[in-house]
């Protein structure tokens, strides 16, 4: 599984069994007079989600800073991903990135962000 933002490779932080990133067709669907459904495909885009496991707060802070610093004026982040359904790795794409961390309490009573879901969608 591949997830890179600029020169920073987060692939080792991705939980492999959760990696669900695929290329989908964007289309207009219509039905003709005979009841046959047609799809006029006008583009494809990459989208999906996966979970990341961050081991400490400094790693999480670095990830947040990387996403923020790499976000363009258009709100997207140039990154590289693996596209499962096309069996392609290191695909460069401009992605919107959303992540939803859950604060947890570690055994040593320090707050941390252990695992969280990252959603990516090509613009």
Tens of pLDDT along 31-61? 999 999 999 999 999 999 999 988 887 888 8
Q: Residue 30 is encoded by which pair of tokens?
A: 């219509």
Does the residue 34 lie in any domain?
no
Q: Give the chain's mean pLDDT.
A: 90
In a domain? residue 36: no
Question: pLDDT tens-digit profile of 49-107?
Answer: 999 988 887 888 899 999 999 999 999 999 999 999 999 899 999 999 999 887 665 65
What's the confidence (pLDDT) of residue 100?
84
Segment (H or E) for 59: helix 57-70
Residue 61 domain flag: yes
21 vs 73: CA distance, rounded Å:
24
Distance CA 4, CA 82 (A): 10
Q: How many domains does the chain have?
A: 1
Laid out side by side, the sheet with 88-105 consists of: 8-9, 3-5, 77-83, 88-105, 111-122, 37-53, 20-31
| Residue 38 domain-assigned (yes or no) | no
User: Which of 63-82 are b and which e, b meaning 16 or more Cβ less than 10 Å from the residue's Cβ?
Assistant: beebbeeeeeeeebbebbbb
**Residue 81 is part of which domain span?**
3-29+43-122
Domain annotation covers residue 96: yes
**Confidence (pTM):** 0.84
């Amino acid at each position: 599984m591949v997830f890179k933002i600029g020169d920073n490779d987060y692939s080792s932080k991705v939980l492999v069994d959760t990696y669900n990133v695929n290329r989908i067709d964007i289309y207009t669907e219509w039905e003709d007079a005979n009841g046959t459904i047609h799809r006029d495909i006008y583009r494809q885009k990459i989208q999906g989600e996966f979970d990341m496991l961050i081991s400490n707060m400094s790693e999480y802070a670095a990830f947040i800073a990387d996403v923020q610093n790499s976000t363009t004026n258009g709100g997207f982040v140039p990154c590289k991903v693996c596209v499962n359904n096309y069996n392609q790795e290191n695909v460069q794409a401009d992605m919107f990135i959303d992540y939803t961390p859950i604060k947890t309490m570690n055994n040593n009573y320090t707050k941390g962000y252990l695992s969280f879901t990252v959603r990516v969608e090509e613009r």
